[in-house]
Amino acid sequence: MKKFLLALPVFFILSLAVAQIPTPDAYRKAQSELAAKNYWEAIPLFKQFTDPKEYGNLANYASFHLAEASLGANQPGQAVAALEPIVSANWAKSDDAKYLLAIAYFKNQQNIEALQIIKKIKDDKIMGMAENATYENLKQVSVSFMIANLQEFKENKGYGEALKRVLESQSILSATERAAYYELQGKANESTNVVKDQILDIVVILPFTNSSRTNLSSIPQNDFVFELYQGLEYGVEQLKKSGTKVNMLTFDSKRDAAHLQNLLADPAIASADIIIGPIYPEEADIVSNFAETARIPFVHPLSNLGDRFEELNYSYLFRPAVSSIANGIVDGLRKQNWGKRVAIGYSGSSRDEMLAKMLQDQLGRAGFQLVKFEQINSRNTSEFLQGLGIRQGQASMAVDQVILLSDDPTIAQPAFSLMESITASIPTLVMDSWLGFNFANYEMLEFPNFYFIGNNTLNFYSEPMEQFRNKFYSKYLNFPSMNASLGAEVVNWVSSNLSETKGFDLRRNLDQKAFQAGKLTWGFNFQGAHNNQYVPLFTLEAGELKPLQ
């Protein structure tokens, strides 16, 4: 927004001087006093010509100049009184009068009235002046006023620029303020008229550094963010080798909300086809707000906490949301028909607590009996299971199936040790992360009691996975971790749904079919949803992972 100091528009004196010819001597005297900035002398001279019954159209001009003189004398209330009767009159300078009335309203602390009269201006040039005046007069008002009236006056460019300035001056923004900021940011992006080419432009935003780790070179290679980035980088390189036109730009969010907000003003992000990351909830919410207003798909690569995204248009979870996991578990238990008695143990993580409560409700409605529902940790997991009759030498149990919700190896280890010691069948559902725990040799169990809940589960023995592992090792001299594999699969999924041949409308492409096979994972279902709804239960048969039928 172009900024300038407001001054009395003296050009109006010249342009409006040709009101009626001949003009009375006292009127010409008033004009001369106004031009000489003798405002107090001009005011009473103009007042005597403001009666439209006596002076006709000249009264409109006299009222206008009276308002100018009043503003010059710092009497905005008098200016308002002079202009209000003439702004709706049918005369040549009605838009000029509306502009001057807006100035008078602003000076008289009547901001709403000023903004409302500006909306009635039709002349583009005068509207531009009014928008500049809006910026100058509102750039330091309270943020609460600006947010409350944004929807009514957001078409006024000066209003938007003033609000952006007010918001950018604050170190901390509320959720409402962030949403308003990114609505304005989205409008700015629209105005650039970015032309989409046929190149897949991927933007990655990850928290590589933070307040305690300020140097990129200090990131350990087993850091989950570094592993995820390696997978993303590898995936993009493979796309390029296959002939896909793709670019990837990477940004460090620094776990700093203010820094992240500044990043999102980068034109490169505004022209992206998709944004991957960041990770942490407070950062993900900022980027989600931006994505919704800029109309750019945003994908959280790791989290299950995103049921709120289902109410949005451009924000996605790559993995299943908690609701999809719950649906997959309930559907799987129905199909297997192991019995109606269920016990649920869950860790204290946000996901596991939310999932446990959702299962408590859904299993009850599906006709299951919840015999035990308890938070577990490394100290009480074994006790939780033994309380169900799951112990060495015990033939009768008080439960038909157990669900353990945790990714924590210190919870998994006592559960696995107890299962090694029993000689009975008790289906136990655990998260697929348990497949990666090096203390668990599931093939050595007498009964295949463990079943694994899908969470973008890797297809470990597929040919594409074998090729991926070998190529990844050749490049990085180590085998890919779970996070690196998911990073590469995110890129595979993106390129399968955004391409030169399919087009770059992610939502439309995802809705084309219910199931989409993965390359490194077992597959996806994003039809009509913003998360992966494909959540099978898996079993191990002869060491090979297979979905339960």
Q: For residue 431, tell me if it sits in a domain.
A: yes
Q: For residue 175, tell me if it sits in a domain.
A: no
Q: For residue 312, give the 3-state DSSP assignment.
A: coil
Joined together, the tokens standing for residue 150 give 């944004």
Instruction: Give yes or no: residues 311 and 417 share one domain.
Output: no
pLDDT in the model for residue 183: 75
Contacts of 145 (CB under 8 A, 6+ apart): 111
The residue-averaged pLDDT of 475-486 equals: 96
Instruction: Give yes or no: residues 329 and 449 share one domain.
Output: yes
The residue-averaged pLDDT of 467-494 equals: 97
Contacts of 359 (CB under 8 A, 6+ apart): 326, 329, 330, 344, 403
pLDDT in the model for residue 70: 96
For 333-389, how does the pLDDT look when each residue is reduced to its tens digit (9 = 90+)?
A: 999 999 999 999 999 999 999 999 999 999 999 999 999 999 999 999 999 999 999
Where in the sequence is the domain holding 263, given as residue range(s)?
Answer: 195-320+456-549
> Is residue 522 within 8 Å of residue 536, measured between CB atoms?
yes
Dihedral over Cα of 425, 431, 433, 437: its sign: negative
Instruction: Give yes or no: residues 341 and 468 share one domain.
Output: no
DSSP annotation string for 422-477: --S---EEEEGGGGG-TT--GGG-SS--EEEE-SS-B-TTSHHHHHHHHHHHHHHS
pLDDT in the model for residue 477: 94
Report the greatest alpha carbon distance in the chain. Answer: 118
Alpha helices in 48-123 (DSSP H): 52-55, 57-72, 76-83, 94-107, 111-118
* Single residue among 413, 436, 453 that ends a domain in this structure: 453
Instruction: Give yes or no: residues 507 and 388 share one domain.
Output: no
For 28-58, how does the pLDDT look when each residue is reduced to its tens digit (9 = 90+)?
A: 999 999 999 999 999 999 999 999 999 999 9
State the chain's mean pLDDT as an integer: 90
Does residue 276 have a pLDDT over 60? yes
* Single residue among 404, 428, 453 that ends a domain in this structure: 453
Please state, in angstroms and rounded to a whole number, the distance separating the CA atoms of residues 127 and 253.
39
Does residue 14 have a pLDDT over 60? no
The residue-averaged pLDDT of 125-132 equals: 96
Dihedral over Cα of 237, 239, 241, 247: its sign: negative
Does residue 6 have a pLDDT over 80? no
pLDDT in the model for residue 414: 96
pLDDT in the model for residue 31: 93
Question: Model-level pTM?
Answer: 0.71
Q: For residue 543, tell me if it sits in a domain.
A: yes
Joined together, the tokens standing for residue 407 give 């990714």
For 79-91, how does the pLDDT look when each residue is reduced to its tens digit (9 = 90+)?
A: 999 999 999 888 8
Q: For residue 371, give the 3-state DSSP assignment.
A: strand
> Is residue 98 within 8 Å of residue 119, measured between CB atoms?
no
Percent of the chain with pLDDT over 90: 74
pLDDT in the model for residue 192: 47
Q: For residue 54, give the 3-state DSSP assignment.
A: helix
Instruction: Tell me the residue type at 74.
Output: N
For 378-399, how does the pLDDT look when each residue is reduced to its tens digit (9 = 90+)?
A: 999 999 999 999 987 776 789 9
Question: How many Cα atoms within 13 Å fall on the side-chain side of residue 180?
Answer: 27
Does residue 16 have a pLDDT over 50? no
pLDDT in the model for residue 197: 66
Q: For residue 5, tell me if it sits in a domain.
A: no
Does residue 528 have a pLDDT over 80? yes
Instruction: Give yes or no: residues 31 and 160 share one domain.
Output: yes
Q: For residue 181, tell me if it sits in a domain.
A: no
> Is residue 62 within 8 Å of residue 28, measured between CB atoms?
no
Instruction: Give yes or no: residues 200 and 156 share one domain.
Output: no
Q: For residue 308, give the 3-state DSSP assignment.
A: helix
Does residue 19 have a pLDDT over 50? no
Strand order in the sheet with 544-547: 369-375, 341-346, 401-405, 428-431, 450-453, 537-541, 544-547
Beta bridge pairs of residue 503: 499
- 459 CB neighbour count, 10 Å cutoff: 18
Instruction: Give yes or no: residues 227 and 347 share one domain.
Output: no
Please state, in angstroms and rounded to a whole number, the distance separating the CA atoms of residues 407 and 378.
12
pLDDT in the model for residue 352: 98
Instruction: Give yes or no: residues 449 and 331 share one domain.
Output: yes
Instruction: Give yes or no: residues 420 and 291 share one domain.
Output: no
The residue-averaged pLDDT of 479-492 equals: 98
For 187-230, how does the pLDDT look when each residue is reduced to its tens digit (9 = 90+)?
A: 655 554 444 568 999 999 999 998 788 788 778 888 999 999 99
Q: How confident is the model at residue 135 (pLDDT cuts 50, 70, 90)?
A: very high
For 151-190, how does the pLDDT look when each residue is reduced to its tens digit (9 = 90+)?
A: 999 999 999 999 988 887 776 667 677 778 777 766 655 5
User: Nearest-CA neighbor of 390 among 414, 419, 413?
Assistant: 419
Instruction: Give yes or no: residues 149 and 227 share one domain.
Output: no
Q: For residue 538, tell me if it sits in a domain.
A: yes
Instruction: Give yes or no: residues 16 and 164 share one domain.
Output: yes
- 236 CB neighbour count, 10 Å cutoff: 22
| Letter string b/e over residues 40-65, b meaning 16 or more CB atoms within 10 A of that residue's CB | ebbbebbbebbebeebeebbbbbbbb
Q: For residue 349, tell me if it sits in a domain.
A: yes
Domain count for the chain: 3
pLDDT in the model for residue 7: 44
Q: For residue 180, tell me if it sits in a domain.
A: no
What CATH number corresponds to the domain at position 307? 3.40.50.2300
Does residue 104 have a pLDDT over 80? yes
What CATH number corresponds to the domain at position 122? 1.25.40.10
Please state, in angstroms and rounded to a whole number, the distance separating the CA atoms of residues 28 and 46.
9
DSSP annotation string for 289-303: HHHHHHT--EEESS-
User: Nearest-CA neighbor of 457 among 536, 363, 525, 373?
Assistant: 536
For 500-527, how does the pLDDT look when each residue is reduced to its tens digit (9 = 90+)?
A: 888 999 999 999 989 999 999 999 999 9
pLDDT in the model for residue 12: 47
Instruction: Give yes or no: residues 520 and 483 share one domain.
Output: yes
Please state, in angstroms and rounded to a whole number, the distance separating the CA atoms of residues 139 and 161.
8
Q: How confident is the model at residue 446 (pLDDT cuts 50, 70, 90)?
A: confident
* Single residue among 397, 428, 453 that ends a domain in this structure: 453
The residue-averaged pLDDT of 459-478 equals: 96
